């Protein structure tokens, strides 16, 4: 169906996907945005290349995409807010790699970028109020994660997505769990 064609295009020539844009590119991970293959909106697709892929290739563990997919599903079931896990894809040849496909949060901004680019342009009292609201949103998310028995292995500002930034109650979601 539509998901199969989407995952095949993602695996082979992701530049041909409708709505395609590179959000991050790195040696270990890349993140792209593309149009949702079945519904409306867009999805975030994270390509995970890891040094441990040989173990996965040899059948000694899960692919990183599958592991992260399962982790997001379990976190959601525990009541922890995360972008919805939609699919994963694994490819063994020619090079072992995997993809994790999640909900794309259109209005979200990572906290690191927000603090460096947007926050300095906001005036005094409004900035102080916004900083308190964002701190509370991050603390609330982190509290729900810890109370559910989970830990984050790479907690940093660039892995915190903030939505509804200017509202009375912004929401924090943490990625790259």
Helix, strand or coil for residue 56?
Answer: helix
Lookup: tokens for 51: 């040094």
Cis omega (within 30 of 0) on the bond before 94? yes
The residue among 70, 64, 102 whose CA lies nearest residue 86 is 102
Q: What is the mean pLDDT of the chain?
A: 80
Paired with 163 in beta bridges are 171
User: Binning pLDDT at 50, 70 and 90, where does residue 11 land?
Assistant: low
Residue 77 burial by CB count (10 A; 0-12/13-18/19+): exposed, middle or buried? exposed
Which whole number is the average pLDDT over 79-105?
Answer: 81
pTM summary value: 0.77
Task: Tell me the CB-side half-sphere exposure of residue 38, using CA atoms within 13 A.
Answer: 10
Model pLDDT, residue 94:
65
User: Binning pLDDT at 50, 70 and 90, where does residue 87 land?
Assistant: confident
Percent of the chain that is helix, strand, coil (3-state, to 5): 40, 25, 35
Which whole number is the average pLDDT over 42-58?
Answer: 68
Give counts: helices (H), strands (E), the chain. 5, 8
Model pLDDT, residue 95:
66
Residue 100 has pLDDT above 80, yes or no: yes
């Amino acid at each position: 169906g539509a998901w199969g064609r989407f995952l095949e295009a993602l695996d082979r020539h992701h530049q041909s996907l409708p709505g395609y844009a590179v959000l991050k590119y790195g040696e270990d991970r890349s993140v792209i945005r593309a149009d949702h293959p079945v519904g409306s909106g867009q999805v975030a697709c994270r390509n995970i290349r890891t040094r441990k892929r040989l173990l996965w290739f040899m059948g000694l563990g899960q692919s990183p995409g599958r592991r992260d997919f399962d982790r997001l599903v379990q976190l959601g079931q525990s009541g922890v807010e995360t972008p919805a896990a939609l699919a994963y894809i694994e490819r063994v040849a020619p090079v072992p790699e995997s993809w994790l496909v999640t909900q794309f949060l259109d209005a979200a901004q990572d906290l690191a970028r927000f603090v460096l680019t947007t926050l300095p342009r906001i005036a005094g009292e409004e900035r102080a109020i916004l900083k308190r609201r964002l701190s509370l949103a991050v603390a609330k998310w982190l509290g729900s994660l810890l109370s559910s028995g989970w830990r984050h292995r790479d907690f940093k500002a660039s892995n915190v997505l903030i939505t509804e930034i200017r509202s009375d109650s912004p929401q924090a979601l943490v990625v790259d769990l």
